[in-house]
Amino acid sequence: MSGKDNMTEEQKKALKQSLQAFINQLSLQQTTAEAEPEKPEFKFWKTQPVPAIDEEVKEDGPIEADTPYDQIQKEEYALPASFTWCNVNIDEEKELNELYTLLTENYVEDDDALFRFDYSSDFLKWALQPPGWKPQWLLGVRVKSNNKLVAFISGIPSTVRIHEHEQKLVEINFLCVHKKLRTKRLAPVLIKEVTRRIHLEGIFQALYTAGVHLPKPISVCRYYHRSLNPKKLIEVQFSHLRRNKTMAQTIKYFRLPEKPLLPGFREMKEEDIDAVQELLNNYLNKFEVAPIFSRDDIQHWLIPRKDVIFSYVVEKDGKITDFISFYNLSSSVIGNPKHKDIKAAYLFYYCPEGNGSKYSANRALINDALIVAKSEGFDVFNCLNLMDNDDVLDDLKFGKGDGLLNYYLYNYKCVDVKPKKLGVVLL
């Protein structure tokens, strides 16, 4: 989940000072023992082929060998008696709607429970049905008595290069248990059942991200946010008015031109697929972990879809020189009388002219993405500090968020990857 804008250094200092004064007043001398949080045990994760939380990974490679087909468990894992497994058939409007409702009411919230991701139905179809998707990997749990969908987890196939090694794997996403069924150890059963179904198709590795810190991330990225509609973001408490700045000054500070500035910047079309495939795969080559896109992948993931994925190219003298994309993921604003949601754009894949070697090319390309996002009505533009993003964040007025995103591999050890060496974006 994306975090909110951080406070300024002065605000932090003032808050720290007043907290300290309060503690002193109560004569609450914190001892080291009191300050240390309890260490989680990872009862489930300890049983899985992942590195231990404190392990220093020195070499890449699978943790367990592939299981031969005849040794893979053929029966579904047992659920408590009142529940049953199902494939969620999102080609059926009714089931797509059930999944949308489960997620929109129960999926990821920020730490203060102010915002909750609101993936649209069209977004879910895009995210869950890429080339090679399997119905049995869109796994749900229903209540037997009334058929209500109460939990979900998904896997989609993908090919990812991990250092020099090309790995066929699944990307796991949308793990969700209904709020009323939390902390009953249902999540481990969902993870084990989807893993079993993936093993049956001959895949033994997975890639996933989470805000929570589990054994053991290959990389930890931070969210950054660029205000496009600062007034609304301040009203919903996503961000705060900077000290000594008025609302009018803040609005002016974040103002953007009405139209993209790069000559030849235009929406991506079918006929750009080959050029984008080549540009993007070349660019992603310079990162330590990155997907490898087939032509079908490019068509699926990057051809614009209304209100879901926005993609643009820069065309110069009939040649495509740059490419950039972002996706639309709103968050519901919980309990705000004035605003129902925040419309957020998330930076997806891109390739600046010259493979990002020139700072000015990155800056100009991402700046144009901000401009079109603003003109499409987005309130905020979010990204992580991966790929070449970090170089231009300050300059383009992104603020550091308070959210972290951990990247994990299942059944594959991988030496730590710095965010700027990471070339993979999950939804």
Ligand X SMILES: CC(C)(COP(=O)(O)OP(=O)(O)OC[C@H]1O[C@@H](n2cnc3c(N)ncnc32)[C@H](O)[C@@H]1OP(=O)(O)O)[C@@H](O)C(=O)NCCC(=O)NCCS
* Burial zone of 340 (CB within 10 Å; 0-12 exposed, 13-18 middle, 19+ buried): exposed
Task: Please identify, using beta-carbon distances, which residue of 42 and 133 lies nearer to ligand X.
Answer: 42
Task: Please identify, using beta-carbon distances, which residue of 106 and 219 lies nearer to ligand X.
Answer: 106
**Closest approach of ligand X to the CB of residue 263, in Å:** 41
CB 365 within 8 A of CB 262: yes
Binding-site member from 100, 107, 137, 283 for ligand X (CB under 6 A): 107
Angle, to 10 degrees, between the axis of helix 93-106 and the axis of helix 121-128?
100
Binding-site member from 90, 96, 99, 108 for ligand X (CB under 6 A): 108
Number of residues in the chain = 427
Binding-site member from 144, 165, 185, 266 for ligand X (CB under 6 A): 185
Task: Please identify, using beta-carbon distances, which residue of 53 and 72 lies nearer to ligand X.
Answer: 53
**Closest approach of ligand X to the CB of residue 213, in Å:** 9
Number of residues forming the site for ligand X (CB under 6 A): 21
As beta bridge partners, residue 312 has 267, 324
CA distance 193 to 171: 15
Q: By CB under 6 A, tell whether 187 contacts ligand X.
A: yes
Stretch that binds ligand X, among 16-24, 36-44, 265-273, 309-317 (CB under 6 A): 36-44
Binding-site member from 130, 131, 132, 188 for ligand X (CB under 6 A): 188
> Where in 79-98 is the site for ligand X (CB under 6 A)?
none
> Where in 366-405 is the site for ligand X (CB under 6 A)?
none
Task: Please identify, using beta-carbon distances, which residue of 1 and 256 lies nearer to ligand X.
Answer: 1
Stretch that binds ligand X, among 26-34, 105-113, 235-243, 323-331 (CB under 6 A): 105-113
Task: Please identify, using beta-carbon distances, which residue of 184 and 245 lies nearer to ligand X.
Answer: 184
Q: By CB under 6 A, tell whether 177 contacts ligand X.
A: yes
Stretch that binds ligand X, among 128-136, 169-177, 315-323, 386-394 (CB under 6 A): 169-177
Residue 153 one-letter amino acid: I
Stretch that binds ligand X, among 37-45, 62-70, 257-265, 331-339 (CB under 6 A): 37-45
CA distance 332 to 252: 26
Q: By CB under 6 A, tell whether 213 contacts ligand X.
A: no
Q: By CB under 6 A, tell whether 292 contacts ligand X.
A: no
Query: What character string, x for contact with ligand X (CB under 6 A) and - otherwise, covers 214-253?
Result: x---------------------------------------
Q: Which residues of 232-264 are buried (b: 16+ CB within 10 A; e: fewer)?
A: bbbebebbeebeeeeeeebeeebebeeebebee
**Closest approach of ligand X to the CB of residue 348, in Å:** 18
Written as six digits, the tokens of 425 are 């974006």
Binding-site member from 12, 13, 148, 184 for ligand X (CB under 6 A): 184
> Where in 39-78 is the site for ligand X (CB under 6 A)?
40, 42-45
CA 59 to chain centre: 26
Q: By CB under 6 A, tell whether 426 contacts ligand X.
A: no
Stretch that binds ligand X, among 90-98, 206-214, 262-270, 273-281 (CB under 6 A): 206-214
* Burial zone of 89 (CB within 10 Å; 0-12 exposed, 13-18 middle, 19+ buried): middle
**Contact residues for ligand X, defined by CB under 6 A:** 40, 42-45, 106-108, 175-177, 182-188, 210, 212, 214
